[in-house]
């Protein structure tokens, strides 16, 4: 049986943005269990500090605005100084604004794109050279089903997540020769603070009619890092089957419609 081209994780570091809570916190926990030292990076200082402390001595919290180049440099420096050469970068930080093409303000559209797309690009831009110097690595970009299909009323979010999907493929082409894999993850509705106000009925037409759990997304990320050694530029979908199609009767019932 051929040897798998996996990463050596022990004695190496990872950075997870948006790591203070929700999906990011679950990913940080999974990576710590894989043997990595993890920097939990977020704007939420109190929650981030608590999350990192709960993960033990192989995790630290660092404040990070993902649109800040100098902030990124400090976080990457701290990751390698505390835990060893960078092995994994997870771009999970994201914001959601409710607003369509007409109603969303220019300022908010730019903010969403800056955080969700530019922030991920900046992390890749600054982190790739470190991964290249270390001989291998994995970058995981947390996109969304909104990066695979359209949704009305969240124009900036959809644009940013489609952009992140494309950026993933461009980076995979550029970095594969250096042994660096780049993949995107596309969650559907996941039970996190971001979706706290969502109507639970939006999942009624899915084959699996429920919200997903952060731990389920984290397990997918763990698979990409540890097992998906021949995958790059790939899209990993975790959405309860939502993008497979919607069951018409259930969807209509959820919206109070009559067939």
Domain segments of the chain as ranges: 13-254
Span 180-205, pLDDT tens digits: 999 999 999 898 777 666 666 777 88
Span 27-54, pLDDT tens digits: 999 999 999 999 999 999 999 999 999 9
**Euclidean distance between CA atoms 67 and 225, whole angstroms:** 25
**Euclidean distance between CA atoms 25 and 215, whole angstroms:** 9
Residues with a catalytic annotation lie at 157
The predicted structure's pLDDT at residue 112: 98
User: What would the mean pLDDT of 90-95 be, rounded to a whole number?
Assistant: 98
Neighbours of 160 (CB within 10 A): 29
With residue 211 as reference, give the H or E element that holds it: none
Mean residue pLDDT across the chain: 92
Nearest in space to 41 (alpha carbons), one of 69, 21, 70? 21
**Euclidean distance between CA atoms 228 and 222, whole angstroms:** 9
Whether the predicted pLDDT of 256 surpasses 60: no
Whether the predicted pLDDT of 253 surpasses 60: no
C-alpha triplet 62, 97, 103: angle, nearest 5°: 150
The predicted structure's pLDDT at residue 8: 87
> What's the predicted TM-score (pTM) here?
0.91
Q: Which residues contact 227 (CB under 8 A, 6 or more apart)?
A: 6
Which fold does the domain 13-254 belong to in CATH?
Rossmann fold (3.40.50)
Residue 214's pLDDT band, with cuts at 50, 70 and 90, is: very high
Nearest in space to 213 (alpha carbons), one of 42, 32, 29, 15? 29
**What is the b/e burial string over 236-258, where b = at least 16 CB atoms within 10 angstroms of the residue's CB?**
bbbbbbbeeebbeebbeebeeee
The predicted structure's pLDDT at residue 106: 96
Residue 123 burial (10 A CB sphere; 0-12, 13-18, 19+): buried
């Amino acid at each position: 049986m051929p040897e798998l081209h996996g990463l050596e994780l022990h004695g190496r570091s990872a950075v997870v943005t948006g790591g203070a809570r929700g999906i990011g916190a679950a990913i940080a926990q999974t990576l710590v269990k894989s043997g990595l030292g993890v920097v939990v990076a977020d704007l939420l200082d109190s929650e981030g500090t608590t999350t990192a402390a709960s993960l033990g001595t192989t995790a630290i919290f660092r404040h990070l605005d993902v649109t800040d180049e100098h902030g990124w440099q400090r976080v990457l420096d701290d990751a390698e100084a505390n835990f060893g050469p960078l092995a994994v970068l997870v771009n999970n930080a994201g914001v959601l604004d409710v607003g369509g093409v007409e109603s969303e303000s220019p300022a908010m559209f730019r903010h969403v794109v800056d955080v969700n797309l530019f922030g991920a690009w900046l992390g890749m831009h600054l982190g790739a050279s470190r991964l290249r110097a270390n001989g291998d690595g994995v970058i995981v970009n947390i996109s969304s089903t909104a990066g695979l299909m359209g949704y009305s009323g969240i124009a900036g979010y959809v644009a940013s997540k489609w952009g992140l999907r494309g950026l993933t493929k461009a980076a995979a082409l550029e970095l594969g020769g250096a042994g660096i894999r780049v993949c995107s993850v596309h969650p559907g509705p996941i039970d996190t603070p971001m979706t706290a106000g969502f109507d639970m009925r939006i999942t009624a037409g899915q084959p699996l009619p429920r919200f997903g759990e952060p731990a389920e997304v984290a397990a997918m990320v763990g698979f990409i890092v540890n097992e998906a050694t021949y995958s790059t530029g790939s899209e990993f979908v975790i959405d309860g089957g939502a993008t497979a199609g919607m069951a018409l009767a259930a969807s209509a019932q959820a919206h109070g419609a009559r067939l």
